Amino acid sequence: MKRRNTESKELVLSILSNSTKAMSQDAIERKTEGKIDRATIYRILNRFCEDGIAHKVVADDGKRYFAICVKCDDPSNLPNNHFHFRCTECETIECMPEIVKYSQPENYTIKKVNCVLIGVCSECA
């Protein structure tokens, strides 16, 4: 049971690592080809987000997309403190290198940043 759990985690991790774009849970599930059930994938993805391995983006299409963290662990950044780009043609989300800059209103605490730019990517242009 323990071993299967590790195998499932490794499979989800490799799927995410092999994608240059953020993936929706549905897309990840399709890639597992039925090897892992939906609830387990959900649990693994949330675990990855808690552990700082991946981060999630909630896009304006209402879907949640997951991406592997690259340089997201910089302590000067909030988790997920970068822009994301959603292509309306191929329905993908990409992590953009630009850090989101903002000023924090007095007495407000910011816990998350969820910035999504919407348009057409270079591949679909």
| Residues contributing to the site for Zn ion (CB under 5 A) | 55, 67, 69, 72, 87, 89-90, 95, 121, 124
37 versus 58: smaller Cβ distance to Zn ion? 58
- Name residue, tokens 């399709």: 30
We find the least distance from the C-beta atom of residue 60 to Zn ion, in angstroms, to be 15
Closest residue to Zn ion, Cβ-based? 72
We find the least distance from the C-beta atom of residue 3 to Zn ion, in angstroms, to be 28
40 versus 49: smaller Cβ distance to Zn ion? 49
14 versus 88: smaller Cβ distance to Zn ion? 88
- Phi-psi category of 104—alpha, beta or left, where left has phi over 0 and alpha has psi -120 to 50? beta
Nearest in space to 48 (alpha carbons), one of 60, 34, 65: 65
Which residue blocks in the chain are alpha helix, DSSP H?
2-17, 25-31, 38-50
